[in-house]
Structure 1
């Protein structure tokens, strides 16, 4: 019985992470220092290279403005006509083409920042310039994705937009 009580206490009561007076400094970033570009995971880089959005169009999506890739995935469920499907496909292909270009630019800009820190060549002035470049590219990339959502509103009927949002699980 005593051993059962001790076993339960050991499971239920956390042990202190460090001895009294010690500080725990382990970073949640540990392991990421091995990345080629510290600010981007391998998944981020792969997604950027293929033109993926990774949440860049949430402002549109979560406000009921459908995206072309999801519309194509659910074309039967929202009853797309052949003309609507062709228009959606064109919007999607243009979005992806432009997003791949901007994604590669973002990877290159992040790599330039990475190299500046890695080789110690970065200073206050060049840091600001590199950050401006990165954010301009990120804004262009986000524009590409959000603009495609806006274009979809000219393609879809109101009832299709409503059905899209229901299928996506949004309370609209």
Structure 2
């Protein structure tokens, strides 16, 4: 069974002799662990799938609820509530996203400057994990308020519109 890294290109590059080089071209990234799209998403406060535990378990996200406002028949009050939640979530998530970028850059620099020791790698990796955890929590914590603002019928319709029919 072949295992493919999530961040590796779909088709690995091959070097001389046909040897697969799945990371070729990634050395030019500013933060090697993050694609340019991921950096843009982090800076914009986008969720990037971080709230899937909520999303897939009947806790809709405010941004997706707004995207589906018409078929969900949101009231003006519900729309205002979702807009407020999205604004608050993005205001919280943007600086946390910058923290993820910064922590990832620090980890990269340990290796780029030949200063990687087991202890330094552990510390820098823990900082990346903490930054990502804080960002994930920031996205997840707006889902309960979103759910509370919707009727059970709207939640059911949301799940249908998003294609979440298997968990009923």
TM-score class, shorter-chain normalisation, is 0.7 to 0.9
Give SS of 1:153's match.
helix
Give SS of 1:56's match.
coil
How far does the alpha carbon of each residue in 1:71-99 deviate from its partner, in whole angstroms, 9 at most, with x for none? 11111110111111111111111111111
CA distance in 1, matches of 2:81, 2:31: 37
Which of 102, 108, 130 is the matching residue for 2:102?
108
Q: How does 1:12-161 map to 2 (within 5 A)?
A: 25-161=19-155
Q: Which runs of 5+ in 2 are unaligned?
A: 1-16
CA distance in 2, matches of 1:154, 1:35: 41
CA distance in 2, matches of 1:167, 1:41: 30
* Structure having the higher Rg: 1
CA distance in 1, matches of 2:19, 2:30: 24
Q: Which has the higher contact order (CA 8 A, sep 6+)?
A: 1
CA distance in 2, matches of 1:125, 1:24: 37
Q: Tell me the matched-pair count.
A: 151
**Considering only aligned residues, what root-mean-square deviation do their CA atoms show, in Å?**
1.5
CA distance in 1, matches of 2:61, 2:108: 32
How far does the alpha carbon of each residue in 1:78-137 deviate from its partner, in whole angstroms, 9 at most, with x for none? 011111111111111111111101000000000111111101112111111111111011
Q: Which runs of 5+ in 1 are unaligned?
A: 1-22
